[in-house]
Amino acid sequence: MTLLKDVKFVPEQAIEIKAYHLLADFEAQYGTIVSPPVPIDRIIEKFLDLRFDWDEIDDTEDDKILGCLLPGKKKILMNSRHVKFFDQYWGTEAYTKAHEVGHWDLHVVKPGDPHQLGLPGFDKGKQYLCRNSTADSREIQAEIYAAYLLMPHQLVMQEIDGLDLTRWPNLYRLKDIFGVSITAMTKRLSKLGLIYVRDKVIYRSEEESQGYTTMF
């Protein structure tokens, strides 16, 4: 991501609230999302009035760019060089789109937005390339935002009811339901404290992975 300057620390809870405000505003206009997947394309085109398109964006295998945001044109551009990657790793396309929505919602200053976090705004005349390899704070914030947007707490808890989360087939079923990658789904469940993964084995907690169990 091309930067104006680094962004100060933002509490994750503030990013979560921001994503949920967007979902609530969308639902107020288009109806409640009663089950996954979250309709990310509809949110982008119908609610945010953004366009998305495909075109080649120059990158390398070591510095992969999956998409970019053009704030001045209100456009999300997906890198057509990686169509096969998106097809192979199902769910990464939706996550990339949600990531760009995160940049739009968090980092593009929009006067009159009651939920604006006050982050430094993007120069609307520039193109911002989202790189896989960067650890920049804006990229981290957009990744966190995408997780909350595509896997909101209420829908996750609804879908895992009665499900044994220590079985990989159940996690793969969940990731298909939410339209995300298995990596994104695993990270989300881990963040919620519902699982702990160690050496590709799923435990209910870190304590359980170390051999400690509870009586309840």
pLDDT value, residue 10: 81
Q: Could you give the CA distance from residue 159 to residue 76 in angstroms, rounded to a whole number? A: 30
Under 8 Å between Cβ of 129 and 103:
no
pLDDT value, residue 2: 34
Q: Reply yes or no on whether the pLDDT at 158 is more than 90.
A: yes
Give the residue-averaged pLDDT of 6-29.
89
For residue 6, give the DSSP letter. P
Mean pLDDT of all residues in the chain? 88
Query: Three-class SS string for 60-105?
Result: CCCCCEEEEEEHHHCEEEEEHHHHHHHHHCCCHHHHHHHHHHHHHH
Q: Who's near 94: CB < 8 A, 6+ residues apart? A: 37, 40, 150, 179, 180
Under 8 Å between Cβ of 27 and 121:
no
Q: Reply yes or no on whether the pLDDT at 204 is more than 60.
A: yes
Cα distances (Å, whole numbers) of residue 77 to 37, 50, 54, 103, 180: 22, 10, 6, 13, 19
Confidence grade of residue 213 (pLDDT, cut at 50, 70, 90): low
Residue 170 parent element (H or E):
helix 168-178
Query: In the chain, pLDDT over 70 holds for what percent of residues?
Result: 82
Confidence grade of residue 118 (pLDDT, cut at 50, 70, 90): low
Q: Read off φ and ψ for residue 192, nearest 5 degrees.
A: -80, -5
pLDDT value, residue 186: 98
Q: Reply yes or no on whether the pLDDT at 1 is more than 50.
A: no
Cα distances (Å, whole numbers) of residue 100 to 66, 143, 144: 10, 9, 12
Give the residue-averaged pLDDT of 70-75.
91
